[in-house]
C-alpha cells in the first residue's frame, strides 16, 4: 500500500492525495505535524524529504516529493488521469503553470491570512499576492470558457493540480461566485466519483489547533 505523508491543511498535499484517490490507488495518509515543526527536524529531513516539505509519497522502495512529480508517477503507474497521449505536454503545461502562478501564491496568501496571528499579517504583501492571484484566476476562468476540463474531454491531473487550493474554506481572496467557469468546473470535479474534500481526505484541520 502506498503511503502519502501529508496534512489536511496543505493544498499541495491535496493534489497528490486527490490524484491517488481518483486513480483508484490503494493508499493511506500519514499525518505530518507541520505546525509543530516536524518537517524542519530529523528524522523527517533525513528519512523523508531533505527539502522539508509535504507531500511525500512512499511506494515500496520508491520515495517521491513535489506534488507534480507524485501526480505524474500515479499517471504513469495506473494509466489514469493523464489524458490522451497527444495531450501529455498540454497537461504538463497546466501543472507547471499552476505550481508557479497559482498554487504557490494561494498557499502563501492563505497561510498569511489564516495561520498567523492577526498582528503578524503583512497586509501589503497579502494585497500584492491577491492581485497576482486574480490575474491567475482570470487565465483559468478564460481557459474553461466553453470547456468542461482544462485538457481533453475528461478530468486529468491538470484539473487536479489547478483546483488544489480552491476547495479550502479559509478566506484568501478567492470567491467562486466571481468566476462562473471556475465555479462550474469545481462542481464537476466535486461530482467526480471518489472525490473528497481535503479535510475529509487527509488528517489535520485548523480546528485541531483551536483556529
CATH of 85-190, one of 1.10.600.10, 1.10.1740.10, 1.20.1050.10, 3.40.50.2300: 1.20.1050.10
What per-residue confidence (pLDDT) applies to 20?
Answer: 98
Grid coordinates of 206? 485548523
Q: Where are the alpha helices (DSSP H) in the chain?
A: 11-22, 67-78, 88-97, 104-114, 123-143, 157-162, 180-190, 198-201
What per-residue confidence (pLDDT) applies to 182?
Answer: 99
Domain boundaries along the sequence of the chain:
2-81+196-209, 85-190
Q: Give the residue ranges of the chain where pLDDT is below 70.
A: none
CA atoms of 12 and 10, how far apart (whole Å): 5
pTM recorded for the entire structure: 0.97
CATH of 2-81+196-209, one of 3.40.50.150, 3.40.50.720, 3.40.640.10, 3.40.30.10: 3.40.30.10
Amino acid at each position: 500500500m502506498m503511503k502519502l505523508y501529508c496534512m489536511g491543511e496543505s493544498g499541495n498535499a491535496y493534489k497528490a492525495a486527490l490524484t491517488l484517490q481518483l486513480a483508484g490507488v490503494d493508499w493511506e495518509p500519514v499525518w505530518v505535524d507541520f505546525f509543530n515543526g516536524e518537517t524542519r527536524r530529523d528524522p523527517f529531513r533525513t528519512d523523508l524529504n531533505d527539502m522539508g516539505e509535504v507531500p511525500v509519497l512512499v511506494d515500496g522502495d520508491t520515495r517521491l516529493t513535489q506534488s507534480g512529480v507524485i501526480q505524474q508517477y500515479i499517471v504513469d503507474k495506473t494509466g489514469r488521469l493523464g489524458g490522451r497521449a497527444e495531450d501529455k505536454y498540454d497537461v504538463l503545461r497546466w501543472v507547471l503553470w499552476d505550481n508557479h502562478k497559482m498554487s504557490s501564491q494561494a498557499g502563501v496568501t492563505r497561510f498569511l491570512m489564516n495561520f498567523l496571528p492577526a498582528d503578524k499579517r503583512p497586509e501589503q504583501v497579502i494585497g500584492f499576492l491577491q492581485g497576482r492571484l486574480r490575474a491567475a484566476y482570470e487565465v483559468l476562468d478564460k481557459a474553461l470558457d466553453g470547456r468542461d476540463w482544462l485538457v481533453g474531454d475528461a478530468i486529468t491531473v491538470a484539473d487536479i493540480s489547478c483546483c488544489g487550493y480552491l476547495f479550502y474554506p479559509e478566506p484568501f481572496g478567492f470567491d467562486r461566485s466571481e468566476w462562473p467557469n471556475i465555479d462550474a468546473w469545481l462542481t464537476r470535479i466535486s461530482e467526480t466519483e471518489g472525490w473528497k474534500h481535503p479535510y475529509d481526505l487527509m488528517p489535520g484541520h485548523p480546528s485541531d489547533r483551536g483556529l
